[in-house]
């Protein structure tokens, strides 16, 4: 059974887009933790925060992290705050490799501002310095990943290829050669 690939990183760093493509390349199943929590609770992430509070969302994240750690052959896109409870990453890491995606704050701001209302921690009119402050507060949590991949100014395929090369070179998961026809 293949180790899971766990993508961590701040909101808007590309975890879901990269994860979907990685899963295709590895012939793994893709799990987006936010979408899975929405499916399990029958509420959108924004609604969980609004109606039940962040604590409820964080406990859903914790339950799901434990559940996913018991499975294999998954590419998991975590939520940007999954790392805030370090035990989530501890448990996921038992059966997986953790990769952190990073991006320039300017890019993150642009990406998160596009999908207004879907991210409860991004308030309307968020300014760059406020975002940088959030990034600073979380930096230590993201630091624990053994691999860090920069996504700004790069195409999806280049980012995915860099991760595939790491997985292959470090013998983390078996990587099939890409068909060239
Ligand atoms: C959060 C990030 C979001 C989502 C929730 C909280 C965070 O996920 O889990 O809004 O605390 O950073 P994305 O990183 O997929 O936007």
Residue among 53, 79, 88 to mutate when testing ligand 1 (max atoms within 8 A of CB)? 79
Instruction: Inform me whether the pLDDT recorded for 181 exceeds 70.
Output: no
Residue 77: Cβ within 10 Å count: 28
Does residue 96 have its Cβ closer than 6 Å to ligand 1? no
6 sits in the region (left: phi over 0; alpha: psi -120 to 50; else beta) called beta
Does residue 34 have its Cβ closer than 6 Å to ligand 1? yes
% of the chain residues with pLDDT over 90: 87
Does residue 11 have its Cβ closer than 6 Å to ligand 1? yes
Q: Residue 30's beta-bridge partner residues?
A: 75
pLDDT confidence of residue 179: 62
DSSP E strands, 16-174: 29-32, 74-77, 96-102, 147-150
Phi, psi of 75 (to 5 degrees): -105, 120
pLDDT confidence of residue 178: 65
pTM to 2 decimals? 0.95
pLDDT confidence of residue 1: 81
Does residue 121 have its Cβ closer than 6 Å to ligand 1? yes
Of 99-103, 116-120, 153-157, 160-164, the range with the lowest mean pLDDT is 116-120
Does residue 14 have its Cβ closer than 6 Å to ligand 1? no
């Amino acid at each position: 059974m293949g180790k899971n690939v766990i993508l961590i990183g701040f909101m808007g760093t590309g975890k879901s887009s990269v994860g979907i493509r990685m899963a295709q390349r590895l012939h793994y199943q893709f799990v987006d933790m936010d979408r899975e929590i929405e499916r399990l609770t029958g509420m959108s992430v924004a609604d969980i925060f609004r109606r039940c509070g962040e604590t409820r969302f964080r406990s859903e994240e914790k339950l799901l992290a434990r559940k996913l750690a018991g499975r294999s052959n998954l590419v998991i896109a975590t939520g940007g705050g999954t790392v805030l409870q370090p035990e989530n990453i501890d448990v996921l890491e038992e059966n997986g490799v953790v990769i952190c995606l990073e991006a320039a704050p300017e890019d993150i701001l642009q990406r998160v501002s596009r999908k207004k209302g879907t991210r409860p921690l991004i308030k309307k009119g968020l300014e760059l310095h406020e975002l940088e402050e959030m990034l600073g507060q979380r930096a230590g949590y993201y630091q624990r990943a053994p691999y860090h991949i920069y996504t700004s100014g790069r195409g999806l395929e280049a980012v995915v290829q860099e991760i595939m090369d790491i997985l292959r070179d470090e013998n983390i998961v078996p990587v099939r050669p890409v068909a060239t026809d």
